[in-house]
Structure 1
Amino acid sequence: MPGKLYLIPNTLGTKESTHVIPADVASIAVSLRHFIVEDLRTARRFLRALDREMDIDGSQFYMLNKRTTPAQFAEYLKPLKAGQNVGIISEAGCPGVADPGAEVVKLAHQAGIEVVPMVGPSSILLALMASGMNGQNFAFVGYIPIKKDERIKTIRQLENRSRNEHQSQIFIETPFRNNHLAQDIVSNCNPQTRLCIAYNLTMPDEFVVTKTIGQWKGKLPELHKKPAIFILQG
């Protein structure tokens, strides 16, 4: 009988794990000995925070990132097929959501392996919950283009879509480009369009504020190197 693939949410920062990770999730996570992880150091630190007595050195870790090959993906399923339970740990938040874990989950389904999603923090959903935007109709569109002209074109397209479909548009950027993205949004959207900026969710300096573009002008927060979520609705 094959093992189960557990999708284990990580914290969104360095705050105590008990604040955001349920005890049952922590208990299952530290009972495993096979892990597919996005970042080895982050995963080991997370597991150590869940249980200082866990035998981390006796555990097996498999790396999952944009350089992981299809052959490696197949290799990662071998413990599952041999009856061992395996956990996927994202660098932050929920596996399979804005991270590469979805490919392993797809292969697990194809192999008839049970996939178990576990409760934990998602910056995307937490930001949407607190934004006051439409939670009945929304789209997460991932990363915005890097080149300025393409970025501005995409921002305008998302604003039009949000207005025409009454759909909240959720997107992210690499933290060191957040300030450029925020400024381009404010410079190119209608003054009445609403923008939610959320960063460091679940952390002591958590910030979630929704204003119109007109209200944000000249008053944008400092976002450099802060994990941020942007939500736009016209």
Structure 2
Amino acid sequence: MPLGTLYLIPAPLGDVPLEYFLPAEAKRIVSTLQHFVVEHPKTARLYLKQLEIATPLQQLQMSELNEHTPANAVPDLLKPLMAGHHVGLLSEAGCPAIADPGALLVRHAHAKGIRVKPLVGPSSILLALMASGANGQRFSFQGYLPADPANRARALKELEKRSAQQDEAIAFIETPYRNNQLLEAIQSQCRSSTLLCVASNLNTDDETIISLPIGSWPKPNPNLHKIPTVFVLYAKP
């Protein structure tokens, strides 16, 4: 029996029309699926309803994969694929498996010889890098920085040094309710000449992008509390 395909389905970064971020062909593929692996079923069903799934929502086979899923439970999520069914992997926002627990499922799928097909959609990390003016030839994503203030300050200095030495743009994120503290830490720990891009609410009507040397940043700071935000540092050599 042929194996199914694991489709990686992008989700909106905000409340925007589907045609703004999801190509028609990706929508068509998703509309045919009956099996999904999702972070949270409730929000996944709301999104899938917009996609006009052919199968009634209550009949969809939906498994959870989130930060609470034990690693040893992930292989079982491949069972529909091994039985020949196509499966959609759906993140809460943006691209699956990027800053997302879905990466582990993708890894297991490759190990079993299952075809993995990423669909086109929005990535907040790439959108922030595109809009930053930082080095698009050499960049990295560092995920979350330490929450402890002392460790966070140390990490920021190390990343700024690395950026300058390697001519590298460095992107990272924070839990949204700590965004304001991270912004203040960057401004206090990094050089005034270092470029800082803060990209918030990307792909929405409330999108805000500021990319300036730290010493030129406007005061007071924007309020980023509980707003999805990507930070980009670029310390030119």
Indicate the TM-score class for this superposition, using the shorter chain for normalisation: over 0.9
**Rounded Cα–Cα distance in structure 2 between residues aligned with 1:70 and 1:184:** 34
2:93 is matched with which residue? Answer: 92
Question: Does structure 1 retain, via aligned residues, the 8 Å contact 2:33–2:53?
Answer: no
Counterparts of residues 1-234 of structure 1 (less than 5 Å): 1-51=2-52, 54-216=55-217, 218-234=219-235
Deviations 1:172-213 (A, max 9, x none): 000000000000101111111110000111100111120111
Q: How much does 1:70 deviate?
A: 3.3
How many residues end up aligned between the 2 structures? 234
Corresponding letter in the other structure for 1:58? Q
| Cα RMSD (Å) | 1.2
- For the residue of structure 1 that corresponds to 2:58, the secondary structure is coil
Q: How much does 1:219 deviate?
A: 3.4
Deviations 1:17-66 (A, max 9, x none): 22101111111112101100012122111111111765111101110012
TM-score for both structures, normalised by structure 2: 0.96
**Rounded Cα–Cα distance in structure 2 between residues aligned with 1:225 and 1:52:** 31
Which deviates more, 134-143 or 12-21? 12-21
Question: Does structure 2 retain, via aligned residues, the 8 Å contact 1:48–1:54?
Answer: no
Which deviates more, 211-220 or 108-117? 211-220
**Rounded Cα–Cα distance in structure 1 between residues aligned with 2:159 and 2:220:** 22
**Rounded Cα–Cα distance in structure 1 between residues aligned with 2:36 and 2:212:** 41
**Rounded Cα–Cα distance in structure 1 between residues aligned with 2:131 and 2:218:** 21
- For the residue of structure 2 that corresponds to 1:99, the secondary structure is coil
Deviations 1:62-94 (A, max 9, x none): 100122123421111110010000000000000
Corresponding letter in the other structure for 1:186? Q
Question: Does structure 1 retain, via aligned residues, the 8 Å contact 2:8–2:119?
Answer: yes
Give the share of equivalent positions with the same residue, in percent: 46
Question: Does structure 2 retain, via aligned residues, the 8 Å contact 1:193–1:233?
Answer: yes
**Rounded Cα–Cα distance in structure 1 between residues aligned with 2:175 and 2:194:** 23
**Rounded Cα–Cα distance in structure 2 between residues aligned with 1:136 and 1:52:** 39
- For the residue of structure 2 that corresponds to 1:12, the secondary structure is coil
**Rounded Cα–Cα distance in structure 1 between residues aligned with 2:72 and 2:37:** 14
Corresponding letter in the other structure for 1:131? S
**Rounded Cα–Cα distance in structure 2 between residues aligned with 1:18 and 1:217:** 34
Question: Does structure 2 retain, via aligned residues, the 8 Å contact 1:186–1:217?
Answer: no
- For the residue of structure 1 that corresponds to 2:154, the secondary structure is helix
Q: Which runs of 5+ in 1 are unaligned?
A: none
Question: Does structure 2 retain, via aligned residues, the 8 Å contact 1:33–1:60?
Answer: yes
Q: How much does 1:220 deviate?
A: 1.8
Question: Does structure 1 retain, via aligned residues, the 8 Å contact 2:31–2:53?
Answer: no
**Rounded Cα–Cα distance in structure 2 between residues aligned with 1:137 and 1:62:** 37
TM-score for both structures, normalised by structure 1: 0.97
Deviations 1:71-121 (A, max 9, x none): 421111110010000000000000110000110011101101000011000
Question: Does structure 2 retain, via aligned residues, the 8 Å contact 1:38–1:90?
Answer: yes
